């Protein structure tokens, strides 16, 4: 029997690619360059399984291509706002993602951003590398003490709770959060947290950390008005999705010291970056590293393989979103 034909849109960890080669007739993206719309359409026509990542724009035009061979879109990543789910459903395609396995690493990264922004470590390293450090002095690069401050989470799912775990038990931080889907009383009690409105999170937090999904319902959730509700001494942290924040509004707030700073791992329109961010000292910028540990990226790939195996054994994939 012929092996199932699989196309992978970007390079995956070698350990995962080895399993793909063993089990499937797989075509890898050796150049690791993003695929065009036309290339993705062709992949859906010529392969049984299409494996994109969160940076591939799998829109309705891609998914509605005629004469499709593919029956499953097995995505590498927890987010799925890069895939038009309505179009996938209409086309009868199964869509899966890779949740849970990246929770701890993304929470670690959120705390790294928080600490780096608060303690101005990026500014310090740039000064040192540029040969401009003149020595220790009492007023040099004073930031905000993190211990005992208030962390406000917008969204309180797995990653937010893991971040709260680190903040509350590691740094004695008070936790408040806003989420349309209230977690269990047991979870709230664990962090001695308060469930409040988005507006209250913004007004009362020293650090506002974004943990909600991207997409139409949260597009520019943090706009000029809402960012304006934050304390002038507060920091905005985003390890979730870039389009949740209005770039222009945030840049204006940082430039005019309406907030103290920000730590960003994701950006609207990435990998394109608004050049105004590069002119600001009070923002920490990272290139979407949330899940970028060796172990987690392997686990994510293996999770894709689990979903594929279930599908091709006529079982329900564990991470099916459509």
Q: Mind telling me the catalytic residues?
A: 241, 270, 288
Paired strand residues for 262 = 236, 283
CA dihedral 158, 162, 163, 166 (to 10 degrees): 170
55 CB-contact burial (10 Å; exposed 0-12 / middle 13-18 / buried 19+): middle
Cβ atoms of 213 and 81 within 8 Å: the answer is yes
* Structure token pair of residue 30: 């050796």
* Structure token pair of residue 143: 């930031």
* Structure token pair of residue 21: 């080669």
Give every CB contact of residue 27 below 8 A, 6+ residues apart in sequence. 5, 6, 7, 8, 47
Residues belonging to the chain: 322
- CA dist., res. 160 & res. 185, Å (int): 16
Q: Tell me the DSSP string of 38-58.
A: HHHHHHHHH-SEEE-BTTS-B
Of the candidates 123, 124, 64, 65, the one whose C-alpha atom is nearest the C-alpha of residue 88 is 64
- CA dist., res. 161 & res. 267, Å (int): 22
- How much helix, strand and coil, in percent to the nearest 5, is found in the chain? 40, 15, 45
- CA dist., res. 289 & res. 266, Å (int): 9
137 CB-contact burial (10 Å; exposed 0-12 / middle 13-18 / buried 19+): exposed
């Amino acid at each position: 029997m012929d092996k199932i034909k699989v196309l992978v849109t970007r390079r995956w960890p070698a350990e995962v690619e080895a399993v793909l080669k063993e089990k499937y007739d797989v075509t890898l993206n050796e150049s690791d360059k993003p695929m065009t719309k036309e290339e993705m359409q062709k992949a859906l026509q010529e392969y049984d399984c299409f494996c994109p990542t969160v940076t591939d724009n799998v829109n309705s035009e891609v998914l509605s291509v005629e004469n499709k061979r593919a029956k499953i879109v097995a995505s590498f990543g927890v987010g799925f706002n890069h895939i038009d789910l309505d179009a996938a459903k209409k086309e009868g395609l199964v869509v899966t993602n890779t949740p849970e396995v990246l929770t701890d690493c993304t929470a670690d990264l959120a705390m790294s951003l928080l600490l780096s922004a608060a303690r101005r470590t990026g500014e310090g390293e740039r000064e040192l590398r540029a040969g401009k450090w003149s020595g220790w002095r009492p007023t040099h690069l004073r930031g905000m003490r993190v211990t005992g401050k208030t962390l406000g989470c917008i969204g309180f799912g797995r990653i937010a709770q893991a971040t709260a775990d680190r903040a509350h038990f590691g740094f004695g931080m008070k936790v408040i959060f806003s989420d349309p889907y209230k977690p269990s009383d047991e979870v709230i009690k664990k962090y001695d947290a308060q469930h409040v409105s988005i507006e209250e999170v913004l007004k009362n937090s020293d650090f506002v950390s974004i943990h909600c999904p991207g997409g139409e319902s949260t597009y520019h959730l943090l706009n000029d008005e809402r960012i304006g509700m934050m304390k002038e001494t507060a920091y905005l942290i985003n390890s979730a999705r870039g389009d949740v924040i209005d770039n222009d509004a945030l840049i204006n707030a940082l430039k005019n010291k309406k907030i103290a700073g920000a730590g960003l791992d994701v950006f609207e329109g990435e990998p394109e970056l608004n050049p105004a961010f590069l002119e600001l000292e009070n923002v920490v910028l990272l290139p979407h590293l949330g899940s970028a540990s060796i172990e987690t990226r392997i686990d994510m790939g293996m999770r894709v393989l689990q979903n594929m195996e279930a599908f091709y054994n006529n079982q329900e994939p564990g991470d099916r979103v459509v």
